[in-house]
């Protein structure tokens, strides 16, 4: 399959799992088109035309024309300059690698990371949080993220890929949406006698099992194992990066008892303690791997010869779905 087609399918699958819903995303893309059409010619080069079809600011092809035929892909959670050199080294030794799929954003996908954050508002709305309160709390957090990323040296990995001739693409919120949906369905919707039981259920998911065996199990960072779970939500799985810590109080008020998170910040943990919300820090890498695996399972049905090389934190687990 050609890289552009492969990536476009990934975007479609990310849209299908998005908490904002397909229709809202269609509307969002339409508004981008209207905005683009109204621009003066001198401003058009500054508009990112990727936004006319792909609603995920943190997911894009960062090197390549899209015309490359891809069958063997290296897949990693954090791919930076060292991993690009590793891929080049492996290719030099004869390993076939047509492209690299990166989870945590690099290049422009990182520059535009904050664009996906509003979807966290929709995730919270699903547990009963007020949309206006969540939006108001989200804005300053998005500004902070934008300012902080703006100062980064954004294009080192991208440039390395260009120089080494390695086609590369980012799938961030696309696969985080898939793991969010999966956790909501397979973990949050079920009932558990206590938190210990919940943790055991999480650990039974193969990616968590593998990471737990290596000393990186799901951790109960707030709450006691014998305590009840209350309403469980996976509200810290998708949406670019952590939301504002005020979200903790909002969720507590909306009746949330336990939050599943990929990674818990210290400020969020303090708020969880203050508002008596249990928190499970699921293994970050295992969680990201689940989302990527769910995407690869679907894409493998379309590109039957797809061959995956696991690097940089990623482990491949195949499901029959």
Residues 93-152 that bind Fe ion (CB under 5 A): none
- Interface region with Fe ion, contact rule CB under 5 A, candidates 59-67, 116-124, 283-291, 307-315: 283-291
Query: What is the smallest separation between the CB atom of 115 and Fe ion, expressed in angstroms?
Result: 15
| CB of 221 closer than 8 Å to CB of 266 | no
User: Does the footprint of Fe ion cover residue 207 (CB under 5 A)?
Assistant: no
- Interface region with Fe ion, contact rule CB under 5 A, candidates 6-14, 216-224, 275-283, 288-296: 288-296
Exposed (0-12), middle (13-18) or buried (19+): which is 146, by Cβ within 10 Å? middle
Query: What is the smallest separation between the CB atom of 234 and Fe ion, expressed in angstroms?
Result: 12
Question: 158 or 288, CB closer to Fe ion?
Answer: 288
- Interface region with Fe ion, contact rule CB under 5 A, candidates 20-28, 43-51, 135-143, 172-180: 172-180
Which of 176, 207, 236, 246 binds Fe ion (CB under 5 A)? It is: 176
Question: 35 or 263, CB closer to Fe ion?
Answer: 263
| Residue given tokens 């109204």 in the structure block | 38
User: Does the footprint of Fe ion cover residue 58 (CB under 5 A)?
Assistant: no
Question: 14 or 257, CB closer to Fe ion?
Answer: 14
Question: 229 or 242, CB closer to Fe ion?
Answer: 242
Query: What is the smallest separation between the CB atom of 56 and Fe ion, expressed in angstroms?
Result: 12
| Beta-ladder partners of 74 | 100, 309
Letters for 228-267 (x = contact with Fe ion by CB under 5 A, - = none) are ----------------------------------------
Question: 217 or 257, CB closer to Fe ion?
Answer: 217
Query: What is the smallest separation between the CB atom of 288 and Fe ion, expressed in angstroms?
Result: 4
d(CA 26, CA 196): 41
User: Does the footprint of Fe ion cover residue 288 (CB under 5 A)?
Assistant: yes
How many of the chain's residues bind Fe ion (CB under 5 A)? 2
Relative to beta strand 168-170, strand 278-281 is unpaired
Question: 252 or 286, CB closer to Fe ion?
Answer: 286
Question: 116 or 199, CB closer to Fe ion?
Answer: 116
- Interface region with Fe ion, contact rule CB under 5 A, candidates 16-24, 106-114, 140-148, 287-295: 287-295
d(CA 257, CA 2): 45
Question: 98 or 106, CB closer to Fe ion?
Answer: 106
d(CA 191, CA 183): 13
By the criterion CB under 5 A, which residues form the site for Fe ion? 176, 288
């Amino acid at each position: 399959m050609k890289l552009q087609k492969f990536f476009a399918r990934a975007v479609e699958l990310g849209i299908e799992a998005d908490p904002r819903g397909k229709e809202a995303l269609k509307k969002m893309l339409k508004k981008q088109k209207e905005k683009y059409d109204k621009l003066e010619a001198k401003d058009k080069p500054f508009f990112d035309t990727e936004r006319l079809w792909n609603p995920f600011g943190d997911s894009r092809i960062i090197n390549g024309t899209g015309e490359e035929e891809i069958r063997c892909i290296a897949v990693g959670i954090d791919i930076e300059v060292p991993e690009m050199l590793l891929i080049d080294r492996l290719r030099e030794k004869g390993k076939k690698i047509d492209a690299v799929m990166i989870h945590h954003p690099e290049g422009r996908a990182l520059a535009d990371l904050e664009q996906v954050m509003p979807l966290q508002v929709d995730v919270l709305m699903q547990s009963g949080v007020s949309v206006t309160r969540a939006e108001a709390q989200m804005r300053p957090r998005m500004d902070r993220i934008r300012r902080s990323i703006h100062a980064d040296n954004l294009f080192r990995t991208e440039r390395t890929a260009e120089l080494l001739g390695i086609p590369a693409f980012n799938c961030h919120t696309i696969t985080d949406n898939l793991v969010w949906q999966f956790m909501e369905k397979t973990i949050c919707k079920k009932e558990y006698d206590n938190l210990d039981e919940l943790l055991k259920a999480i650990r039974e998911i193969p990616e968590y099992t593998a990471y737990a065996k290596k000393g990186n199990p799901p951790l109960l960072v707030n709450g006691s194992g014998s305590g009840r779970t209350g309403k469980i939500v996976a509200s810290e799985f998708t949406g670019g990066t952590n939301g504002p810590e005020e979200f903790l109080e909002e969720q507590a008020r909306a009746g949330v008892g336990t939050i599943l998170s990929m990674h818990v910040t210290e400020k969020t943990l303090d708020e969880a303690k203050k508002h008596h919300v249990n928190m499970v820090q699921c293994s970050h890498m295992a969680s990201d791997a689940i989302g990527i695996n769910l995407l690869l399972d679907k894409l493998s049905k379309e590109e039957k010869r797809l061959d995956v090389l696991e690097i940089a934190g990623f482990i491949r687990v195949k499901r029959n779905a």
